[in-house]
């Protein structure tokens, strides 16, 4: 903020001046407040580390954003960003100001949420994020159930990696995310919704096709096709088979699939390129390729993952999150164990 005052005088807001005209003994003095738009700009720059990309996310031109950021720096009397090299980085004081700006924007956003909540907590869009290995299999079953319960609450859906979804949730760009545990982030609430076992997918003519179950450590002797780095499901598979980590380091097919999807890997299994591990909810999602593959259970203990909802503890539409949770519990997902009584963990 910047005050325009004569030395030794106090300040008056523009609202004060309108309500109580200045007398000759009262010097003219205004207090100029920063705007929410300026705060959104600096949060975008801190997130994108680039003025051009930040301007695109804010739907303004780069000069407009750059001028606004410089104006805010002048008003505050500090440098918010280091402008050098190929990346824009917040200064130490800039990082603290951006963090506070994020809190201010969330609180400001809550004004409209509170008003909508007063009218109908299940009215208005719910911004939902889900990781790549959950969204295609869960959401088609959840959306019809949720639509019957809350027809005035459309879902705005985003798929991404866990880390990116968590950042967007904390920034207030998403309302609730569907992720796999473990997941702990300050300021968030997390509630498990179901437990999902893993299965082994084999080419139809694989030598294991007549077996009823597969030992996890046997996977290391095969061409095990994995998702690329950044997918938490990849990490979970490697935890099931630590020997596979050493096998993948040697090269083979896994390295060529970084950034791929479960459906891409499923197609490669169907061609005989190798085997893979799938979450059980993905089985049957692609009947054409499934005719060329066979699914086998793991020997006990069967590896599983815990799927949970996460949202900001300060999010005012708790009923909307609960409606989504109930829709998941009533979705009739095959092969999972639902957890209707799971407690909410606060972080």
pLDDT digits (tens, 9 = 90+) for 28-81: 444 457 899 999 999 999 999 999 999 999 999 999 999 999 999 999 999 999
Tell me the pLDDT band of 289, cut-offs 50, 70 and 90.
low
How does pLDDT run across 113-151, given as a tens digit for each residue?
666 666 777 888 999 999 999 999 999 999 999 999 999
Residue 131 is predicted with a pLDDT of: 95
The stretch 300-307 carries a mean pLDDT of 94
Higher pLDDT, 289 or 241: 241
**H/E/C letters for each residue in 199-245?**
EEEEECCCCCCCCCEECHHHHHHCCEECCCCCCHHHHHHHHHCHHHH
* CA pseudo-torsion sign 39, 44, 50, 53: negative
Q: Are 195 and 337 in contact (CB under 8 A)?
A: yes
The per-residue pLDDT for 116 is: 63
**DSSP-based three-state secondary structure for 119:** helix
Report all structural domains of the chain as residue ranges with CATH numbers, in order of start: 34-99 (1.10.10.10), 123-347 (3.40.190.290)
Q: How far apart are CA 162 and CA 156, in angstroms?
A: 17
Query: What is residue 259's predicted lDDT score, i.e. its pLDDT?
Result: 41
The b/e string for 203-222 (b: 16+ C-beta within 10 A; e otherwise) is beebebeebeebebebbeeb
- Inter-residue contact 9 to 27 (CB < 8 Å): yes
pTM of the full structure: 0.67
Residue 158 pairs with which residues in a beta bridge?
Answer: 129
* pLDDT at position 228 over 90: no
Please tell me the predicted confidence (pLDDT) of residue 24.
Answer: 46
């Amino acid at each position: 903020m910047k005050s325009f005052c004569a030395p030794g005088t106090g300040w008056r807001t523009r609202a004060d001046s309108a309500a109580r005209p200045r007398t000759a003994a009262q010097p003219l003095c205004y207090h100029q407040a920063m705007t929410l738009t300026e705060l959104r700009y600096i949060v975008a720059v801190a997130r994108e580390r680039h003025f051009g990309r930040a301007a695109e996310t804010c739907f303004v031109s780069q000069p407009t954003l750059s001028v606004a950021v410089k104006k805010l720096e002048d008003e505050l009397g500090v440098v918010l960003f280091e402008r050098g090299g190929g990346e824009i980085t917040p200064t130490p004081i800039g990082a603290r100001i951006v963090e506070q700006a994020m809190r201010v924007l969330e609180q400001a956003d809550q004004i409209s949420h509170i008003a909508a909540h007063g009218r109908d907590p299940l009215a208005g869009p719910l911004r939902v994020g889900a990781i790549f290995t959950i969204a295609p299999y869960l959401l088609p079953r959840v959306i019809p159930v949720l639509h019957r319960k809350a027809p005035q609450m459309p879902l705005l859906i985003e798929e991404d990696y866990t880390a990116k979804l968590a950042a967007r949730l904390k920034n207030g760009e998403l309302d609730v995310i569907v992720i796999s545990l473990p997941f702990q982030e300050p300021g968030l609430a997390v509630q498990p919704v179901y437990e999902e076992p893993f299965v082994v997918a084999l080419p139809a003519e694989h030598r294991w096709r007549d077996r009823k179950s597969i030992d996890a450590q046997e996977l290391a002797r095969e061409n095990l096709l994995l998702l690329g780095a950044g997918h938490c499901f990849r990490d979970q598979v490697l935890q099931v088979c630590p020997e596979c980590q050493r096998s993948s380091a040697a090269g083979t097919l896994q390295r060529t699939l970084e950034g791929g999807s479960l459906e891409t890997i499923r197609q490669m299994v169907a061609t005989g390129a190798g085997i893979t591990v799938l979450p059980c909810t993905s089985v049957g999602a692609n009947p054409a390729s499934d005719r060329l593959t066979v699914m086998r259970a793991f020997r006990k203990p069967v590896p599983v993952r815990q799927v949970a909802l996460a949202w900001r503890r300060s999010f005012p539409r708790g009923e909307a999150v609960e409606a989504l949770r109930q829709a998941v519990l009533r979705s009739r997902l095959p092969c999972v164990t639902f957890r209707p009584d799971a407690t909410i963990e606060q972080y």
